[in-house]
Amino acid sequence: MQNPYQNAMAQLDKAVKVKNFSDNFIAHLRQPNRDIRISIPVKMDDGSVKIFEGYRVQYNNALGPYKGGIRYHSLTEINEVKALAFWMTLKCAVADIPMGGGKGGITVDPKSLSKGELERLSRGWVRGLSDILGPHKDVPAPDVNTTPEIMAWMADEYAKITGDKTGATFTGKPIATGGSLGRGSATGLGGFYVFDSLRKQIKLPEKCKVVIQGFGNVGGHAARIFKENGHTVIAVSDSKSAIFNKDGLDLEKVEAHKKKTGVLKDFAGAKNITNAELLELPSDLLVPAAFENVINANNAGNIKAKAVLELANGPLTPEADEILFKKNIPVIPDILANSGGVTVSYFEWEQNLKNEHWTEKEVFKKLKKMMENASEKMLEKAQESKTSLRMGAFILALERIQKKS
């Protein structure tokens, strides 16, 4: 299997075959503007010092300051961060927000650290990179395994170093320290708005049976939102287990079970299945909301969902994309489907800079409008070029970035 950056470049190759773009523009987009690795020394609780590897990729800022999350994971490496930064560039363009694309990370299993070690590591990432961050330069946010609390530590460290009082250099902060209402559920909710705008076009029923891979920030909120809107969530999973009930899961009880036992497994109201089985369940909508490359050449032929909503970044390999396209299974692409998160991050940045506080209702109203506009424009581009929704989203983004490059 290719690394995520090779997958991202394969998608770009495909887009330039569908539509003509300037060679110079595409050559520039094949490389990030900057790709930085840092060493972060952290004093551990036992008095020893451990060195961690951290990253920031500033991919493209034609549309505005770099924007993108920070991932903490033991498998995080530079090619993953570069791919995610490339997708962020396109995502901001599809959502039509005035920001460019970046991404960061640290190779670490955060569960292996104490809270103090995690805080020192997070502050160390900021110290190593503070020169290149800033509200008008580069605005990081949370991603996998990074939380509002971590963003608060980072924002505090940045303020100590630079004296910046706006708080606008990090988004996804807790409400008490300048976070936006609605940010926590924004990615899941944005994904739902996108799905809802496209549902009839992709021929899904009014009430769908939904399967969700990943029950974290994005997948957990998405599950709740789909259910609140009359759909039935029949299966969910986390890194260790998956559960299935063909008549629908009682999500509140599932959450209580997960809180109590730490796993989804052995929930009384469902059957245990494997993560591989979950992806291949018959359903109306499959929502990958965990990691990259989970649907690939090995399992794409077995997918029985009628459509896929990519809430994770890069969950399908290019081979899987091709297989599902041939099987007539529409895929709502990540760069649109999960752009609700960065859209509300942008709202947070704007509120911080203007010293405003918007209500949750205002935030969701603005988010809905932006997701509906983006879905409509993407569909137009896909139909114009008789191509997939992903290529429609790529064309929309590339045209917008090229215009400002």
Told to check if 215 binds ligand NAD by CB under 6 A, we report yes
Q: Which of 5, 66, 170, 291 binds ligand NAD (CB under 6 A)?
A: 291
Amino acid at position 273, single letter:
I
Residues 152 and 320: beta-carbon distance below 8 Å: no
The stretch among 54-62, 232-240, 354-362, 373-381 that binds ligand NAD (CB under 6 A) is: 232-240
Chain positions 158 to 187 lying near ligand NAD, rule: CB under 6 A, are 187
**Smallest distance, Å, CB 165 to ligand NAD?**
26
The stretch among 3-11, 45-53, 231-239, 246-254 that binds ligand NAD (CB under 6 A) is: 231-239
Distance CA 288, CA 212 (A): 6
Count the residues of the shown chain that bind ligand NAD, applying the rule CB under 6 A.
24
Told to check if 280 binds ligand NAD by CB under 6 A, we report no
Distance CA 209, CA 287 (A): 11
Told to check if 239 binds ligand NAD by CB under 6 A, we report yes
Distance CA 95, CA 93 (A): 5
Nearer to ligand NAD, 387 or 389 (CB): 389
**Smallest distance, Å, CB 261 to ligand NAD?**
14
Report the SS3 class of residue 222. Answer: helix
Catalytic residues: 103
Name the H helices within 130-170.
148-162
Distance CA 338, CA 143 (A): 12
At which residue do the structure tokens 């160390």 appear? 124
Chain positions 324 to 353 lying near ligand NAD, rule: CB under 6 A, are 338, 341
Nearer to ligand NAD, 204 or 335 (CB): 335
Chain positions 122 to 151 lying near ligand NAD, rule: CB under 6 A, are 142-145
Nearer to ligand NAD, 290 or 393 (CB): 290
Q: Which of 42, 97, 202, 218 binds ligand NAD (CB under 6 A)?
A: 218
Residues 208 and 370: beta-carbon distance below 8 Å: no
**DSSP codes, 207-268:** S-EEEEE--SHHHHHHHHHHHHTT-EEEEEE-SS-EEE-TT---HHHHHHHHHHHSSSTT-T
The stretch among 35-43, 93-101, 307-315, 354-362 that binds ligand NAD (CB under 6 A) is: 307-315
Residues 321 and 394: beta-carbon distance below 8 Å: no
